[in-house]
Structure 1
Amino acid sequence: MTVTAACAVLTAGCASTSSEPRSGAGGRTFTVAAAGDVLVHPELVDQAAEDAKRSGGGEAGLDFDPLLAGVKPVISKADLAICHMETPVGEPEGPFEGYPEFLVPPQILTSLKGVGYDTCSTASNHTFDHGLKSVRRTLDTMDRIGLGHSGSARTRAEADDITIRTVKGVKVAHLSYSWESFLNPTPEKQSWAFNRISTKQIRTAEEQARRQGAEVVILSVHWGLEHYNEPSLPQLKLAERITTETGIDLVIGHHAHVVQPIQKLNGTWVAFSLGNQVARHSSPTGLTEEGVIGWFEFRETDSGWDVSARHRTTLVDIPPETEVGEKAPEGAVEDLRLVDVRQILDDPGDLPEYRLARYRLALDRTHGYLYNRGAPADDGLAELSLPD
């Protein structure tokens, strides 16, 4: 089977190789939502088990729908929604593993599809944590539920293939690349199982996608240093090469687990890291619970694709830790939940002030990191108002 490729690009004035004529200001348009790492730690599995008891839903005693429900109003409105599935999945009944060799419930994929994701990047330093068998199981599961994927492969032939997704009449390709894991290096004979970062290979894949008719090509890239809110020097150098040596339209970054800037570089938008979409690290830092949904609108013009960029801040709410017999503060978080920060601040209900202060901190802090390389001056990167 082929790797489903779906993405959308965020670049102003990047020329398309399509033979179709442009239709000017009244041309085709489409929107893309992209978010950060999906990293299912054991605490999230425990929450899904508790939610399944309450809802009677899910599969094999796990229901991730309540965990992810907070972002459905945004994700479901995009013409194309892209997630980053960082880890392989196991069997529905387990066993499951956390860091450092992840094996997570496949039920998370069904819930990602349920909130509106269309496709996911799958190339990461954890892709091969449990070998080729788990790579195949992950992609088989995604195919079964209708969730696209790019970045890993079950066979050598599949690794060489690029599939084009049509989004509102536009042919869009999605590429996904990562650095290699030092903990579990892939055997040479199976090195094709996921895509390793190489400017030359990215350029070759983009050219192949164009030959197959892609009018827009998006690149997901797993790069950088964990827990740093600024891109590393290797990230900056690679971004420079990608935006000058290829025709990639949009670069979506992952791996840092915290939010990093979005910058228009050589006319192409680069989101260095969108943070975590959902995770529960063993030692939460506050920053690792904050993330961003990038929202990109593409409009066809006579000179190419004009792209506007907006964003929506997210937060993973974590219940406070209490001693046996100790009561949590009044109004405290009760369950692990991925929430849309702006939606809560706009409609806070009777939430206590200390919780509202946490949401305001997340909003202000993610704005600061996003803008730290001059995005507003470049193209007015703005917060997304919820689409109608």
Structure 2
Amino acid sequence: MLDIALLGDIILDVPDPDHWLSGIAPLTRAVDVTIAHLEVPHTRRGVELTGDVPAPGADPNHLAALARAGVTAVSMAGNHIADCGAIGIADTLVELDLLGIAHAGAGADLAAAHRPALMAVGGRRIILLSFNCVGPEIAWATADRAGSAYVRIAATDGGATRPQARLDAIDPASLADMQAMIRAQTGRDTLVVVALHKGVTHSPATLAPYERPLSQAAIDAGADVVVGHHAHIAQGIEFHRGRPIFHGLGNGVVVTHALSPAQDHPARREWAERRKAMFGFEPDPAYTLAPFHPEARHGLIGRLRWHSDGKVDAGFTPLWFEAPGRPILAPDAQGATVARYIDAVGQRVGLAPLDLRQMVR
């Protein structure tokens, strides 16, 4: 049996990354494989992307903390990975390769961004594919531009796909491309993990209209598990054809000053205030490095047990986020509260109730 952990968004752009990872590292080191989503480029160079609200590049040295915490692979197709341009992506990939951390979803061109991550473990293969569903389109890779892999989702107003737009319909050609890439990876003794950067940020119990159909289409094409991230708040879990879909893993480890209103960067300062009005929340002032919706303190690590006969058992480990933003493995009583929260937000959007006695681990 292989034990696999699935983490949400990772942003480590403050000092002492080992400290911020230490509350979950006992688990991520103990399992056979840990897959996380790398939200921002790790570079000291680059030209800031214009046309959206860019995140700052993080210190490349911080990636070594992920390796020390047992992270095996990262998905990279997201709305911030191109925020420092092609150089930022290149620097990040060089450092990941030096550390032996597999990666998928971003590259020097679209072919590179489509290239899956391959992990050979115990005579079996784990394949990771990564797609950005929320834009901005200027961050998507092309035949001659660095960026992320993507599935195009149409905005209801007919405008460009971007994180602040209301996204609705899945582009059929883009969907077919995603499914073809998934089918190409399926095979004997192979587990296919599809990471989708999707959803509505900062909104409890919310799934955009495209999220369930897209996730189910990935399963229909042969994915063994779908993992969602981007919303920075945990969403529900469903099973389609017996395979798990984690609609929103929420934050894995996100500690940053980029969302503080007290900063010199005009676009980030303005967004720090505007998002609170847009999504109707006020961060707890104690969470200076993770000023998200108060319900985002409930988190999870997705868990898979892949048996030698091919059977996959799915569950999750509850997380709690301590001020100012450090995740920890939730103690028993608090873990039960978090688990009920994960079940409840799923039921509020029409997902089936979870058997928490079987799923919490």
Say which SS state the counterpart of residue 263 (structure 1) adopts.
strand
Q: Normalising to structure 2: TM-score of the pair?
A: 0.74
Please list every run of 5 or more consecutive structure 2 residues that lacks an aligned counterpart in the other structure: 152-173, 261-282, 284-290
CA deviation vs aligned residue, 1:49-73 (integer Å, no higher than 9, x gap): xxxxxxxxxxxxxx21111101111
Matching residue within 242, 250, 256 for 2:225: 250
Tell me which residue corresponds to 2:72: 118
Q: SS at 1:164's partner residue?
A: strand
Among the aligned pairs, what percent are the same residue? 23
Distance 2:113 2:82 in 1: 14
The one of 18, 30, 34 equivalent to 2:6 is 34
Instruction: Tell me by how many angstroms 1:361 deviates.
Output: 5.3
Q: Which residue among 19, 40, 46 is the counterpart of 1:87? A: 40
> Where in structure 2 are the equivalents of 1:304-383 lying within 5 Å?
305-319=310-324, 336-342=325-331, 345=332, 362=338, 364-369=340-345, 373-376=351-354, 381-383=358-360
Matched, 1:218 2:193: yes
1:1-388 equivalences under 5 Å are: 29-40=1-12, 45=14, 48=15, 63-91=16-44, 100-155=54-109, 158-159=112-113, 161-182=115-136, 184-186=138-140, 188=142, 190-191=144-145, 193-197=147-151, 198-210=174-186, 215-228=190-203, 229-244=205-220, 246-280=221-255, 281-282=259-260, 283=283, 284=291, 285-301=293-309, 305-319=310-324, 336-342=325-331, 345=332, 362=338, 364-369=340-345, 373-376=351-354, 381-384=358-361
Mapped contact 1:278–1:316 kept (Cα < 8 A): no
SS of alignment partner, residue 112 of structure 1: helix
Deviation by residue 1:21-52 (Cα, 9 ceiling, x = unmatched): xxxxxxxx211100111134xxx61xx2xxxx
Q: CA deviation at 1:371?
A: 6.1
Q: Aligned equivalents of 2:57 and 2:36: distance in 1?
A: 18
Q: 1:332 corresponds to which residue?
A: none
- 1:160 to 1:126, Cα distance in 2 relative to 1, 3 A: closer
Alpha carbons 2:102, 2:118 under 8 Å: kept: no
CA contact under 8 A between 1:313 and 1:340: conserved in structure 2? yes
Runs of 4+ aligned residues of structure 1 deviating over 6 Å after TM superposition are: none
Q: Alignment length, in residue pairs?
A: 298
Greater relative contact order (Cα < 8 A, sep 6+):
1
Whether contact under 8 Å (1:254, 1:275) holds in the other structure is yes
Give the Cα–Cα distance (whole angstroms) in 2 for the partners of residues 115 and 89 of structure 1.
Answer: 17
* CA–CA separation in structure 1 for the residues paired with 2:247 and 2:145: 26
Deviations 1:60-113 (A, max 9, x none): xxx211111011111112111101001111239xx9xxx633312223311111
Say whether the 8 Å CA contact 1:36–1:291 is kept in structure 2: no
Amino acid at match of 2:329: D
Amino acid at match of 1:38: I
Contact 1:164 1:214 in 2 (8 A): no
CA distance in 2, matches of 1:145, 1:271: 28
Deviations 1:320-344 (A, max 9, x none): xxxxxxxxxxxxxxxx5321112xx
Q: What residue identity is the alignment partner of 2:352?
A: G
Q: What is the alpha-carbon distance in structure 2 between the residues aligned to residue 103 and residue 88 of structure 1? A: 5
What is the alpha-carbon distance in structure 1 between the residues aligned to residue 322 and residue 124 of structure 2? 37
CA distance in 1, matches of 2:235, 2:33: 22
Which whole-Å CA distance do the structure 1 matches of 2:124 and 2:302 have between them? 20
Structure 1 unaligned regions, length at least 5 = 1-28, 49-62, 320-335, 347-355
Secondary structure at the aligned position of 2:22 is classed as: helix
Q: Which amino acid aligns with 2:304?
A: F
Query: Cα distance, 1:168 vs. partner?
Result: 1.6
RMSD: 2.8
> Which of 1 and 2 has greater Rg?
1
SS at match of 1:124: coil
Residue 363 of structure 1 and its aligned partner are, at CA, apart by: 5.1
* Matched letter for residue 305 of structure 2: E
**What whole-Å deviation, never above 9, does each CA across 1:113-135 have from its counterpart, x for those lacking one?**
11111010011011211211111
Say which SS state the counterpart of residue 209 (structure 1) adopts. coil
Residue 209 of structure 1: how far off its partner (Å): 2.1
For residues 158 and 241 of structure 1, do their structure 2 counterparts lie closer, same or farther at Cα, with a shift above 3 Å needed? Answer: closer
Q: Tell me: CA distance 1:243–1:317, structure 2 relative to 1, closer, same or farther (3 Å).
A: same
Greater share of strand: 2
